[in-house]
Structures are given as C-alpha cells and as structure tokens.
Amino acid sequence: MAYLEWNDSYSVKINSIDQQHKQLIAYINELHEAMSQGKSKQVMGDILAKLANYTVEHFTLEEKYMSDHHYVDLDNHKNTHASFVKKVSEYRQAYEEGKFLISIEIMNFLKDWLTNHIMGTDQNYSAFLVAKGVK
Ligand SMILES: [Fe+2]
C-alpha cells in the first residue's frame, strides 16, 4: 500500500488540478519509497528536486486560474504557497549540504501539508472556479 493514497474526497472538481495533485502524491510516494529502501543521496536528491520543481509548476497554474478569475482570496492563497515553497527549498538546500536527512518526520510534514492544503485551502476555490468554467 502506498504511503499516501489518492482519495476522491481530495478532488477539487477541476481535472487539470486533480491530475497535478495526483502527481504530487506520486512524488511524495516515490520519495518515501526511496527513503524506506535507503537509496543513495543522489537518487533522493533527484526526487526532492522533482517534487520541489513540480510544486512550483503546480502552484503557478492554480494561481493563474485564481488570478484570471479574480478570486477574492488569491493573496492569502499565494502566501500559503510561497511559505511552503520556501520551506521545501530550505529542506532541499540543507539536504544537499548534508546537514539533514530525509526522515519520516519530513515525510509526514509533506504528506500532512499536502493533504491539509488540498482538503482545506484548495477546496475553498473549487466551487468558484468550477462556476467560472475552469476544467
Ligand atoms: Fe493551493
């Protein structure tokens, strides 16, 4: 069983976003699997980089949708994204510098952050963007 399973209650009813959320879950699972198998620093670092870069790409799309449709809570949502991106990039840097190991605490942080964000903050724009025709 995967570390983090997609669940239909995670859906924001916007296919392009759901697909990206699924990809983020896949990267978190890949990182967890690599950690469990004691993979090399190179392998772990590469997955962490993919996760970090994809997170930025994903947030950019969400923010574009919210901005295009003048979503009222855009600024708060952007701030939430920015602080997560900052945290992940700090982890990445510390990892590259050998100051830090990928642990279950970090995995749980990533998992909890993503599921709470999808289930909470992202659900708040769902009905609004769906009504605007975003798919
Ligand atoms: Fe979001």
CA of 117 to the centre of ligand 1 (A): 6
Quote the tokens at residue 126: 């769902």
1 confidence band (pLDDT: 50, 70, 90): confident
Share of the chain above pLDDT 90, in %: 96
Cα separation, 49 vs 95, in Å, equals 11
User: What is the pLDDT, as a whole number, of residue 123?
Assistant: 97
| 12 Cα–ligand 1 center, Å | 10
Report whether pLDDT(63) > 90. yes
| CA 101 – ligand 1 centroid, Å | 27
Q: Identify the band that residue 116 occupies on the pLDDT scale cut at 50, 70 and 90.
A: very high
**Residue 47 near residue 24 (C-beta atoms within 8 A):** no
Packing angle, helices 104-119 and 74-96, rounded to 10? 170
pTM here is: 0.95
Instruction: For the chain, report the end-to-end CA distance as a whole number of angstroms.
Output: 30
Task: Give the distance (Å) from ligand 1 centre to CA of residue 37.
Answer: 30
Q: Are 129 and 66 spatial neighbours (Cβ–Cβ below 8 Å)?
A: yes
Residue 119 has pLDDT above 90, yes or no: yes
Ligand 1 centre and the CA of 40: distance in Å? 31
* 10, 118 contact by CB (below 8 A): yes
Using CA atoms, how far residue 106 sits from 12, 95, 102, 111, in Å, is 25, 11, 6, 9
**C-alpha 34 – ligand 1 centre gap (Å):** 26
CA of 86 to the centre of ligand 1 (A): 15
Cα–Cα distance for residue pair 13/16, rounded to 1 Å? 9
Q: Ligand 1 is a single-atom ion; what residues have CB below 5 A from it? A: 62, 122
How close is the Cα of 114 to the center of ligand 1, in Å? 9
Tell me if the domain spanning 14-131 has CATH number 3.40.1160.10.
no
